[in-house]
Amino acid sequence: MSVRKYKIHVPATTANVGPGFDVCGIALSLSLTLDVSIPSDGTGDVNPTIEYSGLDSANVPLSPYKNLLTRVALYVLRANGITAFPRGVHIHAHNEIPFGRGLGSSGAAVIAGVLLGDLLGGFKFPTARLLDYALMVERHPDNVTAALVGGFVGSYLRELSEDDIKAAAVPLAEVLPEFPPDAGPDWGPNPPQAPGGIGHYVRFGWAPEIKAIAVMPRFELATAKSRGVLPETYSRKDMVFNLQRLAVLTTALARSPPDAELIYEAMKDRIHQPYRVPLIPGLQTILSELTYTSHPGLLGICLSGAGPTILALATDNFESIAAEIVRIFKTENIEVDWKVLDVDTKGSWVEEIDA
Ligand SMILES: Nc1ncnc2c1ncn2[C@@H]1O[C@H](COP(=O)(O)OP(=O)(O)OP(=O)(O)O)[C@@H](O)[C@H]1O
Ligand SMILES: N[C@@H](CCO)C(=O)O
C-alpha cells in the first residue's frame, strides 16, 4: 500500500508583549509538529488514528471528534463540503509547547488543525484564508497570526459587513460542535463558512540580538479564566498609556543595538496585566523589581499571553535574569521551568516527506 507522508510544523507564540493586548504576537522556537500519513488508495479506518508524544500529552483526547487538532481540521473540511476525513489517516503529534501557560499552545493546535484540514481536503488555501479559518476558532488574532506567519507580528480584525458579522459571530459550538461519543463520518449539519479577509497583519522588524527568556510556572491558567477577570471598559488615560507605548515598542524592538531604557518603559501595560495579578502570585513583584538598571541585558518584562509565563526580552545575562524571576516565584511556593528562546521567523510550514 502506498502512503503519502507529510510534516506540519507550528511554532509556539507569546502574545501581547506588554501593551499590545490582542494585537501583537511573537513566534518562538518551541514547536508542535504533526507527522501525517495518508494512504493513497483510500483504504483504512474511517476515523483517523492519533498519537502524541512530548509535553502535556497524557490527557489529550485521542478521539478525532474530541481532539482539538482534528476537530479544527474537520471544521475546515466540513465548511468546504467534505463531511468526513479521508480513510486511514494517521497523525503523530509531538508537542514542545506547555499547555495553558501563555505560550500559545491552543493557537498552535488551531493552526496545525487548519493546515491539517487544508492538507486532507487538498484545498491549498492561501495564507489569508487559512487565517480566516483559524480566527473562526480562536477569535483574538495575536497568537494564531504569529504562529502562522512567524516573527513579530501586529494584527487586527477587519470591520465586517453585516452578513459577515453574523457569519463570524456564530457560536464556537457551531464551528467546533461537541461531537457525541458515537459521532462518525456524516454526523450533524455542516458548520458555517468563514467570511473572507477577517484578519490582517504586518510583520515588524526584530533586532537579531534580542532573545526571549520564558519562565514557566508549573501550573496551568486557562486563557478563558484569565480573560474572564478583564473589565469591559477602560479609562481614556489607560488606553492612551498603552497606545503611546505600543507605537514606540513595535519600532524599538527592530532597532539594533536595542535601547533598553526605551523598551523597558514601552513594554508596560495597563490593560490586562494589572487585572491578572491576583491569578499569578509574584507577578507584581517581578514586574516592579526587575529593571534594565538592576539587571543589565534586560530590555523589558511582561506577562506572556494570558499567563502565567513571564516573558523577559534580553540581550545578555539570561541566566541571572531568569534566576531572579525563579527566586521571586519560589517565595510564592511556585516551581517553574525556564528557557531562552529565539524568535522563529519562518512560522508554520507543511512539507511532503519522501517515502
Ligand atoms: N497540541 C494540542 N492538542 C490538543 N489540544 C491542545 C493542544 N495544545 C493545546 N490544547 C488545548 O488547549 C488548552 C490550552 O489552551 P489555553 O488557551 O488555555 O492556553 P494556551 O494556548 O497555552 O495559552 P495562551 O493562549 O495564553 O498562550 C489545553 O488545555 C488543551 O485542551
Ligand atoms: N491576547 C490574549 C492572548 C492569550 O491567548 C490574552 O491575553 O488573553
From 297, 290, 245, select the one nearest 267 (Cα to Cα): 245
Task: Please state, in angstroms and rounded to a whole number, the distance separating the CA atoms of residues 132 and 152.
Answer: 19
Residues 233 and 263 in one domain: yes
Which CATH number fits the domain that encloses residue 218? Answer: 3.30.70.890
From 217, 212, 213, select the one nearest 280 (Cα to Cα): 217
From 144, 135, 141, select the one nearest 168 (Cα to Cα): 135
Residues 221 and 273 in one domain: yes
Peptide linkage before 191 cis (omega within 30 of 0): no
Using one digit for the tens of pLDDT, what is the confidence trace for 229-252? 999 999 999 999 999 999 999 999
Task: Please state, in angstroms and rounded to a whole number, the distance separating the CA atoms of residues 268 and 158.
Answer: 26
Rounded to the nearest 5°, which phi and psi values hold at 126? Answer: -70, 165
pLDDT-based confidence at residue 193 (cuts at 50, 70, 90) = confident
From 291, 276, 275, select the one nearest 325 (Cα to Cα): 291
- Residue 105 CA to ligand 1 centre (angstroms): 4
Residues 193 and 215 in one domain: no
The pLDDT assigned to 354 comes to 78
Mean pLDDT taken over the chain: 93
- Which single residue is written with the C-alpha cell 494512504? 39
Is residue 143 within 6 Å of ligand 2 at its C-beta?
yes
Residues 159 and 236 in one domain: no
Residues 193 and 266 in one domain: no
Which CATH number fits the domain that encloses residue 92? Answer: 3.30.230.10
Using one digit for the tens of pLDDT, what is the confidence trace for 326-337? 999 999 999 999
pLDDT > 90? residue 59? no
User: What's the rounded mean pLDDT across residues 287-294?
Assistant: 97
Residues 241 and 309 in one domain: yes
pLDDT > 70? residue 158? yes
Taken in order 110, 116, 117, 122, the sign of the CA dihedral is positive
Alpha helices in 21-104 (DSSP H): 68-79
The pLDDT assigned to 191 comes to 81
Closest-lying ligand 2 atom to the alpha carbon of residue 227: 8
User: What's the rounded mean pLDDT across residues 19-34?
Assistant: 98
User: What's the rounded mean pLDDT across residues 222-233?
Assistant: 94
The pLDDT assigned to 57 comes to 87
Is residue 142 within 6 Å of ligand 2 at its C-beta?
yes
Which of 99, 115, 279 has most ligand 1 atoms within 8 Å of its beta carbon, as the pocket-test mutant?
99
Closest-lying ligand 2 atom to the alpha carbon of residue 102: 4
Is residue 223 within 6 Å of ligand 2 at its C-beta?
yes
Closest-lying ligand 2 atom to the alpha carbon of residue 21: 1
Residues 337 and 349 in one domain: no
Residues 326/289, Cβ–Cβ less than 8 Å:
no
Give the cell for residue 145.
497570526
Is residue 100 within 6 Å of ligand 2 at its C-beta?
no
Residues 155 and 250 in one domain: no
> In terms of residue numbers, what domain contains 256?
205-341
Task: Please state, in angstroms and rounded to a whole number, the distance separating the CA atoms of residues 183 and 155.
Answer: 36
pLDDT-based confidence at residue 172 (cuts at 50, 70, 90) = low
Nearest CA to ligand 2 atom 8: 306
- Residue 2 CA to ligand 1 centre (angstroms): 34
- In total, how many domains does the chain have? 2
Residues 104 and 210 in one domain: no
Is residue 99 within 6 Å of ligand 1 at its C-beta?
yes
pLDDT > 70? residue 168? no
- Residue 316 CA to ligand 2 centre (angstroms): 27
The pLDDT assigned to 167 comes to 65
Residues 13 and 139 in one domain: yes
pLDDT-based confidence at residue 173 (cuts at 50, 70, 90) = low
The pLDDT assigned to 171 comes to 61
Which of 65, 101, 106, 272 has most ligand 1 atoms within 8 Å of its beta carbon, as the pocket-test mutant?
106
pLDDT-based confidence at residue 185 (cuts at 50, 70, 90) = low
- Residue 306 CA to ligand 2 centre (angstroms): 5
Residues 134 and 274 in one domain: no
Residues 223 and 137 in one domain: no
Nearest CA to ligand 1 atom 1: 109
